[in-house]
A and B are shown apart, each in its own frame.
Chain A
Amino acid sequence: MLEVEGLGHVYRTASGEVEAVRQVDLTVAEGEIVTLVGPSGAGKTTLLRSLAGLLPYSRGEVRLGGDVVRSPHPDMALVFQDYTRSLMPWATVRQNVLLPIRKKVRSRAERDARVDAALAEVGLADAADRYPWQLSGGMQQRVALARGLAYRPKMLLFDEPFASVDAQTRADLEDLVLDVCAHLRMTALFVTHDIDEAAYLADRIVVVSHRPSTVRAVLDVDLPRPRDQVTTKSLPAFAELRSRIFPLLRAESAEATA
């Protein structure tokens, strides 16, 4: 579904060139959930914006279903890190979810049906006429997810979406993502800095280095599905996975701060 080959990104600033992404190769197969984990400041957002077609990359190629991605692809939907900024406060929940498909879906009835289905999928059927700022942080991020789902993409990209919610909400949202992806057979690339989250969600984990980003390791995850916050996380295989990722990230941060 998604193929990334030799991706590199160099920023040009007043004081010269800054290399944010050096060399990233990865693939996400159809129906697969791949998590991309890296230390804070690893250029993960830069990487994701390049994959989403929002940022022109300097080297390499991104392909989605065979198409070269140079600008936002209609089969890709993005869930942003900061829901307070990616949702429109002047629009209701319904409008926020509906606007992206206004041109895409001609029939009004079908449009409404899609929005209702997407809101029901994330458990927000009753919140359609409220404004995002009237909802809790977790609910707002559900709205952002519903917007992505209503777009009916072939692939969802998540940019550290749960970085700013509390632990309980975060666990609920992780389970929601798993449920939705399983239910809709969705392909997903999920960027996070949280090792547990990366391991819990993934079929495969891509560990990236501190900037300039390179892929340090790709780990297959064979934890059984459906997963559960308690039982999955107490499996020996989960602990082993954590213990493999942890040193990869820590060695990186130590180098970065040294």
Chain B
Amino acid sequence: MTGTTLAPARSARAGGGAARRRGRGRAALRAVWAPALLGAALFGAWQLAAAAGATPGSLPSPADLATYLGESVLKSEFWSAVGSTMLSWTAGFAVSVLVGCALGMLAGLNGVVDRLLFPVVEFFRPIPSIVYLPLVILVAGTGRLSVMVLVAGGAIWPVLLQTVAGVHDTDPVLRDMTRAYAFTRRERMRWCVLPSAAPFIATGVRISATISLVVVVTTELVGTGKGLGGVMSTAYQTGSYVVLFGTGLAAAVLGVLLDQALGLLEKRALHWHAAYREGAR
């Protein structure tokens, strides 16, 4: 299966241990400070513009949003909305990863499955899954099942395509090794195919996590009326713009946190990979 696929950078860092650590520390600092400064500058400008009355009346100032969010995090309604969104996200994301991985493995290992699946994937992949929303809600209601189906419809593709690419990337020498040393089918999957594909799958999983959250919040916003999207939908209808944008900001922060958490997980799971090695030669 072709299509755009991504592999993690295979850059091995050169240089000695201490110097490298120092360099890495400085680089990490730079990586944090530059975007933090830019963010602060943007929020500052927004605040100044709002104070000068230069922003549209429906757009609250950052100070208003901060006050709102500060109060919200003390309330249980906020956390139950976050919880509901997270539950939908977890369910839909898990289905996407499991089904995407399983189908990707099948297609990657079996040329017939690959050829059967490929046209279907290429047909459905570019369709934004939100267009199925009316149909799904008619058939399955506004429950979590509908959200799961919609999320899977949007988030399965990166995992699927990356898994196929990863399986195809298995080193032929390694494959020879497993045959020469009579690895069983299971051992081959566990010790050769899956780890070879893992860096690719990890990239797919992270993309899919972000798409999942987008689909969950959108579905809540225009369909089910639950979770953070539901809060935004109600706020929009009642003209509570502070609530609308504040909740949107909370959803954005949630997205960043989920991505960072998966990044850490990836780094631990792929500690052997050239891009993540500690103390490599």
Contact = CB atoms under 8 A, between A and B. Distances in A.
B179 A88 contact: no
Interface stretch (B120-128, B182-190, B221-229): B182-190
A100 B179 contact: no
Contacts of A151: 181
A80 B180 CA distance: 10
A91 B191 contact: yes
B169 to A, nearest CB: 12
B181 A77 contact: yes
B255 interface: no
A136 B281 contact: yes
A151 B176 CA distance: 16
Interface residues of B, number: 23
Given A85-B174, A86-B173, A131-B272, A54 B277 contact: no
Interface string B2-30: 00000000000000000000000000000
Contacts of A227: none
Contact of B195 (A71, A76, A78, A90): A90
A71 B173 CA distance: 16
Given A85-B171, A99-B183, A99-B191, A80 B177 contact: yes
A90 B279 CA distance: 15
Given A77-B181, A78-B180, A88 B277 contact: no
A49 B176 CA distance: 9
Interface of A: 49, 52-54, 71-72, 74, 76-78, 80, 82, 85-86, 88-91, 99-100, 102-104, 131, 133-134, 136, 147, 151
Given A74-B182, A100-B183, 11 more contacts: A54-B176, A72-B179, A77-B181, A85-B174, A88-B174, A91-B191, A99-B187, A104-B182, A133-B274, A133-B280, A133-B281
